[in-house]
Amino acid sequence: MKRYLPFIIVALVGLITAGAGTMLYRSRRVPSALVEMPAAELTPNKWLHLRGKADAPVTLEEYGDFQCPPCGTLSEPLNKLEEDYRGRLRLIFRHLPLKNHQHARAAALAAEAAAMQGKFWEMHDILYREQQVWSKAPEVSPLFNSYAGVIGLDVEKFKKDAAGAEAAVRVDADMRRAETLKISTTPTIFINKQLVPPSSLNPQALRSEIDAALQKRATQ
């Protein structure tokens, strides 16, 4: 028995280390479900960017970055899902501009400035549609100003609002929320408060997740 003791000790140490590593990983990863949000948070208002019916049975909440290529790839499919499930699916967008994307925060501020004129989603869509153009530009303000004109905004007001404190406060509020939830990558998506795994961040898998959420609601 004594000659096996060193091997037993090594095995025990390995198990303890693995267990500690798992606990550390779990403490850092994104929670599998969102905490219950107050009803007021799901009521359309200037702080909440919601597309679809406010009382839809399924909510898809995205933390996105306008300069993130995977977010751009998902943008149109998400819009198509909202159209296909019209009345049964609502989309919520929250900002998480990543530090390694040079123009992401400026784009988020531009979207908020558009929101102040009631056209958040129009700016959201054009920013993703033109992502390959502005993300490579040395200076993005002229491009964002031109997008503001294209979607029918008062461009001078847009410029002022994009540089103002309120837009920054709105973006920072979403970023703090993401930090609280330990979200650090984009896109991160929840469907009815349940985290969608990275392997399911494609149109077909998201459709299956939405169908499952609808079925679950129908049986409740």
Q: Do 17 and 83 share a domain, yes or no? A: no
Structure confidence by residue, pLDDT tens digits, 39-69: 334 444 567 999 999 999 999 999 999 999 9
* 108 and 71 Cβ atoms separated by less than 8 Å: no
Rounded distance, CA 179 to CA 150, Å? Answer: 34
pTM of the model: 0.81
The pLDDT confidence band at residue 220, using thresholds 50, 70 and 90, is confident
Averaged pLDDT for residues 74-90: 97
Q: What is the per-residue pLDDT for 140?
A: 98
Structure tokens at 3: 């000659």
Structure confidence by residue, pLDDT tens digits, 181-206: 999 999 999 999 999 999 999 999 99
Rounded distance, CA 81 to CA 89, Å? Answer: 8
Domain encompassing residue 7: 1-30
The DSSP 8-state label assigned to residue 199 in this structure reads: G
Structure confidence by residue, pLDDT tens digits, 85-116: 999 999 999 999 999 999 999 999 999 999 99
> Between residues 154 and 2, which one has the greater pLDDT?
154
Q: Do 71 and 19 share a domain, yes or no? A: no
- What CATH number has the domain bearing residue 45? 3.40.30.10
CA angle 183, 186, 187 (to 5 degrees): 110
Q: Do 173 and 102 share a domain, yes or no? A: yes
Map residue 94 onto helix, strand or coil: strand
Reduced 3-state DSSP string for 108-134: HHHHHHHHCCCCHHHHHHHHHHCHHHH
Domain count of the chain?
2
Is pLDDT at 80 greater than 50 in this prediction? yes
